[in-house]
């Protein structure tokens, strides 16, 4: 039956609302600090990826400003035409030395880096083995790949090994995994995954979006934490580094290949040089300033322990992502709205982002949260818990 375009869409949106999966935008009218002006109201935010507070760091702002004055606000083209500035090259060299790889290649986002790598690297006769909780950008990259994708159970080494055995006849298998799972906050056992890959002659691609700047002695990420060297490391500048953009780190030949084959690199306008300059500054800071990470992890542990003491089911470990399992989507949404009444913003994460029945409040902590912010968060969780018990 024919309906008008807009009424057809309206029906679909009603459907989303009925399933408690409706999403809305919030308007921020202040810097990305823990205390923000959101939709005209003061809120304490526990959902930022600006883990180290670098997004508002004076040193980064100065770098972006002075480079913006010299190079302009846009890059004017793709890297292969006119968009490649000396700052892009300088940042790529810096990322490579930070990640301790031969080379790196910038993309406009981590999303596009994942899609670019996975759609170009594996060939049609290859197999991709992907963790079931990998980020959406990995899933989309696998969908665009000509290789066949096999999903293995979340961080399940036995299942991964079985699947490596089952696919022995293939010349090339690629294991792809998040280093830190974005909705669960746990760390993939990269040491064991890479040992398995070696034993079965598979290649390893690691998405270190949430590990970069956070894990390891010098904040180099999950590979430093485990002391491993996967074939391909993907990362983003948009989390701990505090700016925007994505990257792939690995060998010179990998960089050369991606420049020639990754469509999300070739057909994309380069990020602005000012963003490269700010990112460069951020990496310099991250590499030497251990205190930021220590202060962050201290706060993470306090929140984890106090929520657990209140009886909440908390997932993850050793990362600033703290998922609090609530259950049904509707209940998680209710919980998130309750937190708002306490002037706290933390989103309800619902299907399809997480499994049915595992909806959650996803908290993230930053080095900039004060102990008072943390007290207010815990008090809110305590009050809401009591309210829940009364209404049960």
Ligand X SMILES: *Cc1c(COP(=O)(O)O)cnc(C)c1O
Per DSSP, 187 falls in state: B
If the CB atoms of residues 180 and 329 are measured against ligand X, the closer one turns out to be 180
- What's the min distance (Å) between Cβ of 290 and ligand X? 23
**Number of residues in contact with ligand X under rule CB under 6 A:** 14
Q: Which of 128, 155, 197, 209: binder of ligand X (CB under 6 A)?
A: 209
Contact 182, 207 (CB under 8 A): no
Shortest-Cβ-distance residue relative to ligand X:
110
Contacts of 301 (CB under 8 A, 6+ apart): none
In the complex, the smallest distance separating the C-beta of residue 293 from ligand X, rounded to whole angstroms, is 18
- Applying CB under 6 A, which of residues 79, 99, 210, 304 lies at the interface with ligand X? 210
Q: How far apart are CB 207 and ligand X at their closest, in Å?
A: 5
Length of the chain: 392
Those residues whose C-beta lies under 8 Å from the C-beta of residue 249, and which sit 6 or more positions away, are 95, 96, 99, 101, 103, 104, 232, 233, 234, 235
Beta carbon nearer to ligand X, 241 or 380: 241
- Catalytic pick from 182, 238, 336, 359? 182
Give CA–CA dist 180/203, Å, rounded: 19
Between 36 and 180, name the residue whose CB sits nearer to ligand X: 180
By CB under 6 A, tell whether 362 contacts ligand X: no
State both tokens at 24: 């809305």
210 vs 315 by CB, closer to ligand X: 210
Contacts with ligand X in 217-276 (CB under 6 A)?
236, 238, 246
Instruction: Give the helix/strand (H/E) hosting 113.
Output: helix 110-120
Considering only residues 123 to 182 of the shown chain, the ones binding ligand X according to CB under 6 A are: 135, 137, 178, 182
Stretch that binds ligand X, among 65-73, 86-94, 206-214, 215-223 (CB under 6 A): 206-214
Q: Which member of 88, 135, 239, 369 is catalytic?
A: 239
- The count of other CB atoms within 10 Å of the CB of residue 317 is 14
Stretch that binds ligand X, among 71-79, 203-211, 319-327, 345-353 (CB under 6 A): 203-211
Give me the half-sphere count of Cα atoms (radius 13 Å) on the Cβ side of residue 230. 33
Which region, judged by CB under 6 A, interacts with ligand X, from 120-128, 186-194, 204-212, 349-357? 204-212
Question: Which of 43, 99, 163, 210 is the catalytic position?
Answer: 210
H-state helical runs in the chain? 5-18, 58-71, 86-99, 110-120, 136-144, 157-166, 190-199, 222-226, 252-261, 263-266, 273-288, 290-309, 329-341, 371-391
Stretch that binds ligand X, among 153-161, 202-210, 257-265, 345-353 (CB under 6 A): 202-210
Closest to ligand X by CB, 178 vs 281, is 178
Task: Say if residues 215 and 187 touch (Cβ distance below 8 Å).
Answer: yes
Determine phi and psi for 359, rounding to 5 degrees.
-60, 150
**CA-CA distance, 181 to 196, in Å (whole number)?**
20
Contact status, residue 300 vs residue 369, Cβ threshold 8 Å: no
Active site residue 85: no
135 is catalytic: no
**359 catalytic per annotation:** no
Binders in 288-347 for ligand X, by CB under 6 A: none
Q: Which is nearer to ligand X, 178 or 373 (CB)?
A: 178
Q: Is 382 exposed, middle or buried (0-12, 13-18, 19+ CB in 10 A)?
A: middle
At residue 327, the 3 state secondary structure works out as strand
Pairing between β-strand 41-45 and β-strand 35-38 as defined by DSSP bridges: antiparallel
Interface positions, 37-96, toward ligand X (CB under 6 A): none
Q: Which is nearer to ligand X, 85 or 109 (CB)?
A: 109
**Structure token digits, residue 361:** 């409040």
Site for ligand X in 97-116 (CB under 6 A): 109-111, 114
Among 92, 126, 131, 207, which residue interacts with ligand X (rule: CB under 6 A)? 207
Q: Which residues are catalytic?
A: 182, 210, 239
What residues make contact with ligand X under the rule CB under 6 A? 109-111, 114, 135, 137, 178, 182, 207, 209-210, 236, 238, 246
């Amino acid at each position: 039956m024919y309906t008008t375009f807009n009424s057809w869409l309206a029906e679909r949106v009603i459907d989303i609302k009925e399933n408690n999966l409706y999403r809305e935008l919030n308007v921020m009218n202040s810097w990305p600090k823990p205390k923000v002006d959101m939709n005209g109201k003061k809120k304490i935010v526990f959902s930022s990826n600006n883990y180290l507070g670098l997004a508002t760091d004076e040193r980064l702002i100065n770098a972006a400003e002075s480079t913006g004055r010299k190079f302009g606000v846009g890059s004017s083209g793709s890297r292969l035409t006119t968009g490649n500035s000396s700052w892009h090259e300088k940042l790529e060299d810096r990322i490579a030395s930070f990640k301790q790889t031969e080379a790196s290649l910038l993309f406009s986002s981590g999303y596009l880096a994942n899609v670019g790598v996975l759609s170009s690297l594996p060939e049609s006769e290859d197999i991709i083995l992907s963790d079931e909780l990998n980020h959406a950008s990995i899933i989309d990259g696998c969908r665009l790949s000509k290789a066949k994708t096999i999903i293995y159970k979340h961080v399940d080494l036995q299942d991964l090994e079985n699947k490596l055995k089952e696919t022995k006849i293939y010349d090339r298998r690629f294991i792809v995994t998040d280093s830190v799972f974005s909705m669960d906050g746990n760390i993939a056992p990269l040491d064991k995954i890479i040992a398995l890959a070696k034993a079965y002659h598979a290649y390893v691609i690691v998405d270190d979006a949430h590990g970069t700047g956070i894990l390891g002695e010098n904040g180099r990420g999950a590979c430093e934490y485990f002391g491993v060297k996967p074939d391909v490391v993907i990362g983003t500048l948009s989390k701990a580094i505090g700016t925007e953009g994505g990257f792939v780190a690995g060998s010179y030949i990998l960089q050369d290949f991606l420049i020639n084959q990754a469509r999300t690199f070739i057909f994309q306008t380069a990020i602005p040089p000012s963003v490269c300059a700010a990112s460069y500054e951020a990496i310099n800071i991250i590499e030497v300033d251990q205190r930021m990470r220590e202060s962050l992890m201290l706060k993470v542990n306090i929140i984890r322990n106090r929520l657990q003491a209140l009886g909440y089911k908390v997932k993850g470990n050793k990362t600033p992502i703290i998922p609090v399992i609530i259950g049904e989507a509707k209940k998680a949404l209710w919980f998130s709205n309750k937190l708002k009444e306490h002037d706290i913003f933390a989103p309800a994460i619902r299907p399809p982002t997480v499994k049915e029945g595992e909806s959650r409040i996803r908290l993230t902590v930053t080095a900039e949260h004060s102990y008072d912010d943390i007290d207010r968060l815990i008090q809110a969780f305590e009050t809401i818990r009591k309210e829940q018990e009364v209404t049960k």
